[in-house]
Chain A
């Protein structure tokens, strides 16, 4: 079955970096764009970034483009999110999600990985 499994979350000090991973299975990963979406504790959903099926196009939320980098390795069926200069407000559950043909729609979501930025 179609599955996305995030990993790499944890507790990190402000100013440090963290890389999240999302392992995909059950579908042709290299044929679909992918998203990262986050959710702060008790808050709503916030879109973070998108990468096209081949990695040639990348889009970011304006407030995050200077610190976050999305990438993918289609040979490993894995999506990544590099997060630098982390702040307390980056504390959230981070979800990866598979895009549909309409690239800004997401039809499959992982269970999320929790990032806590705290000293």
Chain B
């Protein structure tokens, strides 16, 4: 069965960095687009970043552009999100999600919590 498992969340001070990972299993990872989506405490969903199957196309939300970097390693069935210059408003649960069509998200991980506070 399809599984997406995020890791790497935690507590970090403003200005700090974290690297999130998402390990995929149960499907051919290299065949699917992937995205990161986040949810601040008590708030709605916010799409963060997208990467195509070959990493040739990458998009970011304006709120993270220039600070976050998405990447993937198809040989390791893994998706990453390097987060730099973190701010309090980046505090959220971060989900990785599988995208079969460059348009919607058919499977989601359980999320990893990132807390930015001083």
Partners in one complex: no
